[in-house]
């Protein structure tokens, strides 16, 4: 056992040298005359206290992590990522991810944070729901309870081209295990031919709601058959496909200025992450046998 843990830590240290470093208010209204709880998003946000308790107890905790790396990915609308972008407008059975995030913000259920290359999730970087809507020209009216009513057509007309995803790779000395968790996501909008990151939301803040949003997803590396999975499943199990654009403080495009060199570096980092994942899996297998 000591040999396995030593091998794990040795592998992580070797790889590290290659890296740079709710309670829901369900009073939401869509401005289309629909009843308060008729939309898909409203039904998703009507969580039980048990659901909230279970999800809060599975939140990310890195307090005992002895090794971490922050990996940032661009997740575009490509094959394998369809569930994050379609339907473009929520239907009776399926929610649009961006609409769900906006609904949660308009209810003051979750917080949005200023977009920064390395997000700092503190009060100084928080956005109010009104600030998010004003900055992105989303129409709304203010309700008596300080929530917002959003114009559905404004959301339908917004072109979300990408989600930025911040992953945390870590080794936890308390459990003797390694894991990868999504820490935050950021929608990116295309306006007049240019892409703009909108805001960060913490994955822990939205996970309980994502778990209720079921969407068909083609998990190409698992099964060729369309399966029903929640948004939570997609992010937690990393069923999405995304290119690495940043590792810790290092923006890859600033160091690798040609498409060829950038692609080569991304492949090198992915190879190192595969190695780290193999060490995680080896330690997990050893724990199961003991």
The model's pLDDT over 145-189, given as tens digits with 9 standing for 90+, comes to: 999 998 777 787 789 999 999 999 998 887 778 889 999 999 999
pLDDT at 125 (0 to 100): 94
What's phi and psi for 227, nearest 5 deg?
A: -125, 155
pLDDT at 24 (0 to 100): 35
pLDDT at 75 (0 to 100): 98
Cα–Cα nearest to 231, from 265, 203, 255, 191 = 203
Low-confidence ranges of the chain (pLDDT < 70): 1-60, 62, 215-227, 290
pLDDT more than 90, % of the chain:
48
Q: Where are the alpha helices (DSSP H) in 87-230?
A: 97-106, 129-135, 152-156, 203-210
Give the containing element (helix H, strand E) for 3.
Answer: helix 2-16
pLDDT at 9 (0 to 100): 45
pLDDT at 176 (0 to 100): 79
């Amino acid at each position: 056992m000591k040999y396995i843990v030593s091998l794990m830590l040795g592998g992580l240290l070797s790889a590290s040298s290659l890296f740079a470093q709710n309670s829901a208010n369900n009073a939401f209204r869509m401005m289309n005359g629909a009843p308060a709880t008729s939309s898909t998003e409203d039904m998703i946000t009507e969580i039980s206290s048990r659901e909230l308790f279970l999800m809060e107890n599975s939140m990310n905790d890195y307090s005992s992590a002895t090794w971490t790396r922050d990996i940032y990915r661009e997740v575009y609308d490509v094959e394998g990522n369809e569930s994050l972008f379609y339907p473009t407008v929520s239907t009776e059975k399926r929610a649009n991810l961006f609409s769900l995030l906006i609904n949660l913000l308009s209810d003051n259920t979750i917080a949005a944070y200023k977009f920064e290359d390395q997000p700092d999730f503190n009060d100084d970087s928080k956005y109010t729901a009104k600030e998010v809507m004003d900055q992105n020209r989303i129409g709304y009216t203010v309700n008596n309870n300080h929530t917002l009513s959003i114009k559905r057509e404004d959301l339908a007309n917004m072109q979300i081209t990408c989600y930025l995803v911040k992953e945390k790779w870590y080794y936890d000395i308390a459990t003797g295990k390694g894991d990868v968790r999504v820490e935050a996501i950021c929608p990116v909008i295309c306006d007049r031919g240019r892409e703009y990151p909108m805001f960060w939301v913490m994955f822990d803040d939205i996970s309980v709601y994502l778990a209720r949003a079921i969407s068909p997803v083609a998990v190409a590396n698992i099964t060729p058959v369309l399966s029903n999975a929640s948004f939570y499943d997609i992010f937690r199990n990393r069923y999405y496909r995304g290119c690495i654009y940043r590792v810790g403080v290092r923006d890859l495009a600033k160091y690798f200025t040609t498409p060829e060199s950038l692609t080569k570096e991304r492949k090198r980092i992915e190879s190192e992450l595969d190695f780290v994942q193999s060490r995680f899996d080896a330690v997990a297998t050893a724990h199961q046998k003991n």
